[in-house]
Each structure stands twice: as structure tokens, then as C-alpha cells.
Structure 1
Amino acid sequence: MRQEIGRIDVHHHVVPPGYARFLAEQGLRPGGVAVPQWSAERSLRLMDRNGIATSILSLSTPGAWFGHDDQARRIAREVNEYAASAVRDHPRRFGFFATLGVPDLEGSLAEAEYALDTLGADGIVLLSNAAGRYPYEKHLDPLLAYLHERRAVVFLHPGELPAEPAPGIPSFTADFLLDTVRAATGLVLSGAVEKYDGIRWILAHAGGFLPYVAHRVLLTMIRVEPRLSQARALVARKRERERRLDVLRRFYFDVALSSSAHALPSLLSFAHPSHVLFGSDYPFAPAPAVRFMRQEYEDVALKAGQRDAIDRTNALALFPRLAEHGIARQGRP
């Protein structure tokens, strides 16, 4: 049964068949789970059943880099060509975030330009870390500078922690959330969010637990001149706290696997109202899980206009191409 709601899903993965075979040959299980099958037709069925008008496709961890720059460039190009073909076949139903071969800087810059200018990518997907390198590290400053100049939307998806997983706990359960917080916090503490403010960052899974620990991050960030009087120091700390909170609130957050009655209110109490986006995490979240989390999301009481903003209007502001393609408001069942 099709739900005519018109959601825009910013966290929807593509798994090209060749890439899936490569991961299987390497014995890799992204996030500790088996590589799912994907096709445009499967996605469209899932979307129709969950009121999703358009999905922005992205590659999940482990990304394109497996130790060799040339190989990473080839994989990234193949993935991006495959995703772009899905968009050409279904321009109103799909968009895509381009994959880069990070930490290969030269190849990543070339692929970003090709994907944005030739393939028409809607943005870029970066892993929270790639081969242990985080996006805020100085090595990647030229890439962030380029994405800033392009005013790119960058979807920050968790990668595997650069450490052994805890026994018996798949990395998607908790490690993914920690690595998202590591990357986002690093982007703030390094000054990258402010320096490259042309980038619109989307954090997967409600930013991990970033909203919960936002004030803990503030304690790391705030510095006040010790010679100030106690009263002036309190005022200075409050002013600095509010300024730094504003920096943290520049992030966008998707609600993939994070839309329960416990998690969603925490996110909404922290995030800017225009910076919360719908996400499903399909197909790594299989169809029953997507349906369950969508139902959980629909059961959460929201303020007037908040659900429509999360479902679509916040995303339309980020991706004007979708509005140009006539992704119109649709009636609720």
C-alpha cells in the first residue's frame, strides 16, 4: 500500500552489485552485518510503502579506500556512475551523494569535481573516519576548502572505529555513534565548521549522542580569561557558551534509526528546527526495521508543522533541485 506523504529520505544507501561482490570476496561485513542486496526497484517499493517520495543515495562504510589510491579512485568512480544512472532513470525518486576515495586527497578532489559538475551529484558523502583519518585533520583541509567553495552538502556517515570492536557487539550498535561524535566534535574543536561554513554537514543517526553530550563538548571548548572578576567571568562564560552552542547547532541531523519516543525528543530539544531531516538507513536497516522505526516516528507527538519540516521542507531547502523537479506536497493518508 502506497503512503502519499512525500518524504525525502537523506539516509538511503546504494549497494552496487560489483561493490557487493568485492566486499564479499574480502570477507567484509559493514558495521558487523551482512552486505544487503540492493536495486532501484527494491528501494522504490520500500519508499512507496513508507511515504518516501525521494531518496538521496549514498555508499555506506567501508567506502572506497582499501589501502591503494588507484583502486579507491576506480571504486569511487564506479559507485558514482552507478548511482548517477539510478538518478537518470528515476530523476524525481532519487538523488545521490558522491563517494570519494578519502584519504587520497588528489583523487578525492578530482572525483568531487567530476561528480558535482558532470554527474550532477546532490552532495558528497564522507565517512567519520577513513583508514583512521578524520575529516577535520589538516591533511584534508584542501578538500574541505573546495567543498566550502562549492557550498556542498556533506553527509557524514559513520565508519568503523579505528580499534577492535567489543566482543559480541556489532559495530553499528554503538561504535558508529561514538565515531560520529568523534568526527563532529573534531570538526568543531578544530575550527573547521566555522572556517568552512559554506559546507552544510548532515550527521547520520541524529548525530550519534552529540545532542546528549553537547554541554560536555562545550566544557572542552570554552576558554575564559582567568584575570576577569568572578561576575565578568560568569558573563563571559555564558556568552561563549551560547556562541559555541550556535556552532554545534549548525549541523543537520537525520533521524535514521533514531526516531523513537526516547531519542527524537532529545534531538529536537537541541537541534535547530530547520536542521532535522528524515532518514531510513535502508537497506542496511531492512524493510521491517524501516517500517518499525517509521511507525515509532509517526507515534511521537510533535509541534504543529514540525513533522512536515522533518519529512520534506527542511530537505527541500537543502536540495533545491528536488523542488525544481516537482517533488510536490502530497496529502497524508
Structure 2
Amino acid sequence: MRIDVHTHFYPSGYLAEIRRHSDHASVTVDDAGQLVLHYAGDYNVLAPAHHSVEARLADMDAAGIDLSVMSLTTPGVHVERPERGVTLAKLVNDEYAELQRQYPERFRFFATLPLQAPDEAAKELERAVRQLGLAGAMIFSNVNGEPVDRPRFWPIYEAAEALGAPIVVHPTAPAFAEYLSEYRLVALLGFAYDTTMVAVRMVLGGVLDRFPGLRLIQTHLGGVLPYLAERVQRGYAVYPELKGKLQRTPIEYFREMYLDTVLFDPDCLKLGLAFAGEDRLLLGSDHPHQVGDLFKAVRVIKELPVERTVKEKILSGNARRLLKIETAAA
């Protein structure tokens, strides 16, 4: 079985609302007739599988993906005014729940949360998991420039821990995005920075001491966390501002995080596997973004020089355990 945990879908109701009105996003049509969703610092070209169930299923079948665990992706609803964000989050999650009901063997979803209103986000997370049956939630690495380790966001983590609901941490444009406006550097470099930054801040900021049962999924193989974790560990041991502030050393927290495999270089994946362990890697494709690749995501795991049992864990076993997925295919 193959379960893709990093793949994105825009519900039709959300796109209609953004086209009708948004404070910070817009939808246009390019010369090729494709929808383009613009937001501060970047844009997404919408492939058919971004918003068509039929196209999504066709792509999954072609690549041999049994089940997709989808999320909204950028720009998210947190870029809107708080009351608008709450309304959009409920609209998205209700549509996700309906699709999950219609296609229980093929689709699961991570809830969208109005992160600019953390108390409301915690309530929506509880509704999404308890009432709608969604798999957990996705948050972003910053909320309109504010790091998400800050205490005002802690109600979300308290709710997630109580629910046993995993939280996917997805990058968005970093606070210094204006310096990355050329060459698509927000997507190419800025996302990797923000992914790494949020993983380190969640540890050094004490979030995982406060909520030890919180389960985090870091996207894009943790950014450059496997490469830089030793430096963070070393700094924690010598900098007086950090030393002794945590219950454990940083590396212990990092290695409890889950990493998805959205880096398709086999050497990078071998590093990620050595860093996180075979029980902490989850198949991801970033489909259907331009920079995603549904076929390569599967192929690179199948070709890794590791035991078949390890590949099976990455392709589906870890996701099934973490997300409590039971299907006929499983």
C-alpha cells in the first residue's frame, strides 16, 4: 500500500470564495487557461488535480497511490481577517469531510485552521477531528510573520495533544520574503529555511516540554534540520542563553518528529533516514504543485538501498500507524 501524506487540494468552495473576495489572495487565469492563485511573496499554478476529484483520482491511479492525505497549502486562511479566516476554515473542512465520506478508501484530510485566532483554531481542530473525522491538522511555519512557537498559539497544541491529532507543519513565505522575490526563491530556499526554523523554535521554545504528547510532521524532510541538528545540539551545550533550559537535549526532540520524504535526492533521503529512523519517515509527493512529483516520490523510495520492510514502513506503514488509517486496501 502507498499513502501520500504531503499532497494538496483546494476545495471548490474555497476557490469560489477567494475569487469573490479576499484581502490577501487572488485567482487569475494564465495564457494556458490554468488557474493561478497569487498571494504575498509567491503564487501557485493550479493543476487539474489541485481542484478536480476526477483528475486527482486519475493521477493517483497512474502513480499507484492508494490513499492521499490532503491539505489546503498556501496561502492558508490565516492571511484573511480573523472572522473571515474562521468562516473559510469551516467551509474547507466541511468540504473535506464530505469528500472523505464519499471516497473513504482513497482520501483523508488534514484540517485547515484559522491560525490568526488561536482560540478559534483550537475549537475548529476539535470540531474537525471529533465531528468531521479528519486526520489532524496542518499549520504553517509562521502566521503573518509571527513564529508559531509563541505561547499565544499554545491552545492549538493543547487541543492537538488532547485529541491525539498529528500536526503537519508546512512552510510558508518567511518574514524576509521581500529579499527572495526573484528566481522563485521563496519556494526554492525560503520554505526550507522556515521549515528548519520552526522545528528548532518548537524545541528551544519549550513547546514540546509543555506538550510532550504532541506529534509533529515536518515537511520537506525537515528542511535542512538533519544537516544542521548537530550544530543546534552543540550550541545548546555551550550558549548560556540555552543551556539547561530544556528537559532533554534538542536532538532527542528532533528525532521524535516525523519527516515527510519531499526531497527526492536519494542521498538526502538516506541522511533523513539515518537521522529520524525508519519509523519516522512518511511518503510525500508535494503533488500537484509544479515542484512536486508523484511518480518520483514513490520511485526514489523503492530504489533506496534498504530492506523491503523499511520501504514498506515509509510507503504506508508509518502513516497507517500515526494517522490510525484502516481501509480495505490495508
Give TM class, smaller chain: 0.7 to 0.9
Q: What is residue 294 of structure 1 aligned with on the other side? A: 298
Deviations 1:60-117 (A, max 9, x none): 0111022411100111111111111110110111111100000212221221121111
Q: Which runs of 5+ in 2 are unaligned?
A: 19-24, 29-36
Question: Which sits farther off after the overlay, 102-111 or 270-279?
Answer: 102-111
- 2:118 equivalent among 89, 99, 105: 105
8 Å contact from structure 1 (residues 260, 293) kept in 2: no
Q: What is residue 46 of structure 2 aligned with on the other side?
A: 35
Alignment partner for residue 319 of structure 1, among 316, 319, 323? Answer: 323
Residue by residue, what CA displacement relative to the aligned partner does 1:125-161 show, whole Å, maximum 9, x if unpaired? 1011121122211111222122122221001111111
Mark the CA change 1:186 to 1:17 in structure 2 (over 3 Å): closer, same or farther. Answer: same
Shift of 1:170: 3.8
Asked if 1:82 corresponds to 2:95, the answer is yes
Residues 224 and 130 of structure 1: CA distance in aligned 2, closer, same or farther (over 3 Å): closer
Match of 2:129? 116
In the TM superposition, residue 28 of structure 1 has moved relative to its aligned partner by 1.2
Among 147, 150, 155, which residue is 1:142 paired with?
155
Q: Partners of 1:31 and 1:97 in 2: how far apart?
A: 22
**Residue of structure 1 in register with 2:266 after alignment:** 261
Report how far residue 300 of structure 1 moved. 2.6
Distance 1:16 1:286 in 2: 21
> C-alpha displacement at 1:18, in angstroms?
3.6
Instruction: Give the count of matched residue pairs.
Output: 307
CA distance, structure 2, for counterparts of residue 241 and residue 195 of structure 1: 10
- SS of the aligned residue for 2:209 comes to helix
Look up the equivalent residue of 1:291 and give its one-letter code.
F
SS in structure 2 at match of 1:273: coil
- Where relative contact order (Cα < 8 A, 6+ residues apart) is larger, the structure is 1
Q: What is the SS of the residue equivalent to 2:77?
A: coil
Alpha-carbon distance, 1:224 to partner: 8.6
CA distance in 1, matches of 2:291, 2:258: 24
Match of 1:20 among 15, 31, 47: 15
- Code of the aligned partner of 1:301: P
- Name the structure 1 match of 2:59: 46
Larger radius of gyration: 1
Shift of 1:243: 4.0
1:283 aligns with 2:288: yes
CA contact (8 A) 1:161 1:176 kept: yes
Q: Secondary structure at the match of 1:222?
A: helix
Q: 1:295 to 1:74 in 2, by over 3 A?
A: same
Deviation at 1:299, TM superposition (A): 2.6
1:196 — aligned with what?
211
Query: Which of 179, 182, 186 pairs up with 1:167?
Result: 182
Q: Unaligned 5+ residue runs, structure 1?
A: 1-5, 226-235, 329-333
CA distance in structure 1 between the partners assigned to 2:9 and 2:108 by the alignment:
11
Q: Which amino acid aligns with 2:221?
A: A
Which residue of the other structure, out of 232, 250, 258, is the alignment partner of 1:252?
A: 258
Which residue number corresponds to residue 92 of structure 1?
105
- Equivalent in the alignment of 2:237: 222
Change (3 A) 1:317 1:93: same
**Counterpart-to-counterpart distance in 1, 2:188 and 2:268:** 14
Amino acid at match of 2:223: G
Aligned counterpart, 1:8: 3
In the alignment, is residue 184 of structure 1 matched against residue 189 of structure 2? no
Over 3 Å counting, the alpha-carbon distance change for 1:176 and 1:224 in structure 2 is closer
Cα drift, residue 270 of structure 1 = 0.5
Per the alignment, residue 310 of structure 1 pairs with 314
Q: Which residue does the alignment assign to 1:212?
A: 227
Structure 1 pair 301/285, CA: closer, same or farther in 2 (3 Å)? Answer: farther
User: Given the superposition, is the C-alpha separation of residues 94 and 67 from structure 1 closer, same or farther in structure 2, using an over 3 Å criterion?
Assistant: closer
Partner AA of 2:88 in structure 1: I
Q: Secondary structure at the match of 2:6?
A: strand
Query: Secondary structure at 2:259's aligned position in 1?
Result: strand
In the alignment, the residues of structure 1 paired with residue 253 and residue 232 of structure 2 have an alpha-carbon distance, to the nearest angstrom, of 11
TM-score normalised according to structure 1 size: 0.85
Q: CA deviation at 1:209?
A: 0.7
Over 3 Å counting, the alpha-carbon distance change for 1:308 and 1:25 in structure 2 is closer
TM-score under structure 2 length normalisation: 0.86
What's the RMSD between the two structures over aligned residues?
2.4
Calculate percent identity across the aligned residue pairs: 28
